[in-house]
C-alpha cells in the first residue's frame, strides 16, 4: 500500500477558508497569528509525502524491539539522531540512566489431573519480574478479581499462585486493570503466594499475551509474575470452577545494573521568542515483544515529522518547538523525570506540552489541561483541522506519562486525541507491528499535529497555566 495520499479539493478549500471566529471575539487578521498558507503547506505535505509511514517502517522493521538498556534501545537512539540530522533539525542527546531488565525464557503449563490432560499456557513475564527458582515452580492456583480480595485470602494463599482475573473489554478499562498488574505480585506475596498470574490487559486476543510494567513493594517478598492470554485466563477460570488446578511456571528474568541511555532532544528554534518552548513528546523505547508500532513508534514518527515540516518553512514559528523522544517510558519513566530535572530552571517558559502516545489512529479532536481561555485562544485556527476530522474540542484533560513530571511546574498540556478504540488489541504484545498501523490514519494525525504545533508556537498569546496541583495530604 502506498503511504502517499492525495490532497483533496475539499481540504484545499478548507485551508483557504475564513477562520472560525473565537467565542465572544472577532476573528483575527491573518497577520495577527498563524498563516493559513502555512496550514496548506504543512497539512498537504503530511498527507501526500508519506514520510511518517516510511520512517515508521525504518524504526519498526529496521531497529525493531527497543526496550531500555538493550542493544535495540541503543540503536533507536542512534537512528533518531541520524534522522533528525538528515532532516536539518538541530538535535542533541541528554543522558539518562535506565533500568536493564532481561526477559529470558518464559513458559508455563497447566498440569495434568483427573479432569484434564494438561495445557500449555501462552504467557509473558511482566516487565521487572524476578525469575522463578532454578527448575521453575509448581503450585496450585487461586483466582481473585481485586487487590482487596487478595488481602482477604489470608492463609488460603500460602504456597499458591494468585491468578488475577478481570473484565477489561474496552480501552477505558485499562487504568483500573493496570493497577492489578502493577501491584498484584506484592499484594499476593504479602499473603504468602509464591507466584502471580494476570489475565492480559487486552481488548482482543488471538491467544496473544500482553506484557507490561509491574513493581515490587519493598515490604514484601519478590515473587515471579506473568500475564497469560485472554484465552488461557478463561481456561483457568473454567478449570478452577471444577476443582483444584496446578500450574508449572519457568521464567528466566534478570535485572542487570542500570545502563546508560539518552533522551533525544531536537529543536526548531523560534524566530522571536526562542526561550518560549512548545514541547512535543513521544517515547522511543518499546517492549521487547512486537516492534512497538503503535506504542509508541507512531507517536515518535508523528513528532519527528512535525519537526521536519516546521524546519522546512521559510519563516520559523514565533516560539521554539522542541521534540523530545524519551527513554524508558515503559518500565521506569526515567526519561521523563530526567528531562524535568535537567530543565527545571526553564519550565516556567514551557508554554505548552503535547504527548503522542495513543497509537497511530485517525485524529479525533483536541483536549487541554490549562487555565481559562484555552478554547478561545485556539478556536480561530481550528478550521484547517476540519477536513481531518479533528476540529472538535473534546471533554477530558490532556495528559501523558512522560510529561507528567512537568505538572508541578504548571506547564499547560494540550492533547491531540486519536482513535484508540483498537489500540489495546495489540498493545504490549507480539502483535504490535507495522501492519497494524494504517498509513492514511497516521498521515492524518501527523497533519493535525503539525498544524496544531505550529499554531501553539505562532499565536500571539499563550495558554494560561493550570491551577497548581493540590498538595498531598499529610
Neighbours of 418 (CB within 10 A): 28
Q: 406-461: per-residue pLDDT in tens? A: 999 999 999 999 999 999 999 999 999 999 999 999 999 999 999 999 999 999 99
**Residue 472: pLDDT band by 50, 70, 90 thresholds?**
low
State how far Cα 167 lies from the chain centre. 22
The three-class DSSP label of residue 386 is helix
Angle between helices 298-311 and 439-458 (to 10 degrees): 50
Q: How far apart are CA 204 and CA 168, in angstroms?
A: 10
- Checking 135-140 for CB contacts under 8 A at 24+ apart, the result is 135/250, 136/248, 136/249, 136/250, 136/251, 137/161, 137/194, 137/195, 137/224, 137/248, 137/249, 138/111, 138/246, 138/247, 138/248, 138/249, 139/194, 139/195, 139/246, 139/247, 140/244, 140/245, 140/246
Q: Which residues does the annotation mark as catalytic?
A: 329
Domains of the chain by residue range: 9-98+258-458, 104-252
Alpha-carbon distance of 117 to 192, in angstroms, equals: 29
What is the Cα–Cα distance from 412 to 462, expressed in whole angstroms? 9
In whole angstroms, what is the distance from residue 56 CA to residue 305 CA? 10
Q: How confident is the model at residue 33 (pLDDT cuts 50, 70, 90)?
A: confident
**Please, are residues 402 and 283 in contact by the beta-carbon 8 Å criterion?**
yes
Q: Would 9-98+258-458 and 104-252 be classified into the same CATH topology? A: no
Top-level CATH class of 9-98+258-458?
alpha beta
> What burial letters (b/e) apply to 315-339, b meaning 16+ CB within 10 Å?
ebbbbbbbbbbbbbbbbbbbbbbbb
Return the DSSP state at 296: I
At 257, is the secondary structure helix, strand, or coil? Answer: strand
- Residues 267, 286: Cα–Cα separation, whole Å: 23
Q: pLDDT tens for residues 365-420?
A: 999 999 999 999 999 999 999 999 999 999 999 999 999 999 999 999 999 999 99
Nearest to 402 by CA among 474, 322, 330: 330
Q: Is the pTM of this model over 0.85?
A: yes
Name 259's bridge partners: 98
104-252: in CATH 3.40.50.150: no
Amino acid at each position: 500500500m502506498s503511504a502517499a495520499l492525495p490532497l483533496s479539493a475539499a481540504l484545499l478549500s478548507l485551508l483557504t477558508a475564513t477562520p472560525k471566529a473565537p467565542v465572544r471575539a472577532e476573528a483575527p487578521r491573518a497577520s495577527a497569528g498563524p498563516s493559513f498558507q502555512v496550514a496548506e503547506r504543512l497539512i498537504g505535505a503530511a498527507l501526500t509525502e508519506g514520510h511518517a509511514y516510511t520512517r515508521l517502517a525504518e524504526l519498526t522493521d529496521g531497529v525493531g524491539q527497543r526496550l531500555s538498556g538493550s542493544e535495540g534501545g541503543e540503536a533507536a537512539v542512534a537512528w533518531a539522531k541520524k534522522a533528525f540530522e538528515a532532516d536539518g533539525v538541530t538535535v542533541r542527546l541528554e543522558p539518562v540512566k535506565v533500568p536493564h531488565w532481561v526477559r529470558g525464557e518464559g513458559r508455563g503449563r497447566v498440569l495434568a489431573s483427573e479432569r484434564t490432560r494438561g495445557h500449555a499456557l501462552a504467557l509473558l513475564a511482566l516487565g521487572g519480574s524476578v525469575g522463578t527458582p532454578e527448575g521453575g515452580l509448581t503450585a496450585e492456583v487461586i483466582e481473585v478479581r481485586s487487590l482487596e480480595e487478595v488481602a482477604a485470602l489470608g492463609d488460603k494463599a500460602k504456597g499458591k499462585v494468585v491468578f488475577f482475573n478481570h473484565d477489561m473489554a474496552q480501552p477505558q478499562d485499562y487504568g483500573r486493570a493496570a493497577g492489578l498488574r502493577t501491584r498484584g505480585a506484592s499484594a499476593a506475596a504479602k499473603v504468602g503466594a509464591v507466584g502471580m498470574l494476570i489475565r492480559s490487559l487486552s481488548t482482543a486476543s488471538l491467544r496473544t499475551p500482553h506484557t507490561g510494567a509491574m513493581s515490587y513493594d519493598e515490604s514484601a517478598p519478590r515473587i515471579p509474575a506473568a500475564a497469560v492470554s485472554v484465552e488461557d485466563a478463561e481456561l483457568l477460570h473454567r478449570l478452577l470452577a471444577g476443582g483444584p488446578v496446578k500450574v508449572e511456571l519457568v521464567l528466566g528474568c534478570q535485572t542487570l545494573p542500570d545502563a546508560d541511555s539518552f533522551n533525544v532532544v531536537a529543536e526548531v528554534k523560534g524566530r522571536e521568542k526562542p526561550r518560549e518552548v512548545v514541547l512535543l513528546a513521544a517515547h522511543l523505547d518499546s517492549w521487547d515483544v512486537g516492534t512497538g508500532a503503535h506504542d509508541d513508534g507512531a507517536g515518535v514518527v508523528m513528532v519527528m515529522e512535525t519537526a521536519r515540516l516546521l524546519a522546512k518553512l521559510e519563516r520559523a514559528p514565533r516560539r521554539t518547538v522542541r521534540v523530545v523522544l524519551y527513554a524508558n517510558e515503559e518500565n521506569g519513566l526515567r526519561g521523563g523525570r530526567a528531562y524535568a530535572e535537567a530543565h527545571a530552571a526553564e519550565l516556567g517558559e514551557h508554554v505548552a506540552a503535547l504527548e503522542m502516545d495513543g497509537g497511530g489512529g485517525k485524529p479525533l479532536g483536541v483536549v487541554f489541561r490549562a487555565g481559562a481561555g484555552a478554547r478561545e485562544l485556539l478556536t480561530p485556527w481550528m478550521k484547517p483541522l476540519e477536513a481531518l476530522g479533528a476540529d472538535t474540542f473534546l471533554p477530558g484533560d490532556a495528559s501523558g506519562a512522560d510529561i507528567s513530571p512537568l505538572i508541578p511546574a504548571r506547564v499547560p498540556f494540550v492533547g491531540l486525541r486519536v482513535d484508540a478504540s483498537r489500540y489495546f488489541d495489540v498493545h504490549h504484545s507480539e502483535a504490535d507491528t507495522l501492519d497494524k498501523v494504517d498509513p492514511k490514519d497516521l498521515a492524518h494525525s501527523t497533519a493535525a499535529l503539525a498544524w496544531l504545533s505550529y499554531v501553539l508556537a505562532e499565536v500571539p498569546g499563550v495558554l494560561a497555566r493550570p491551577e497548581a496541583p493540590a498538595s498531598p495530604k499529610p
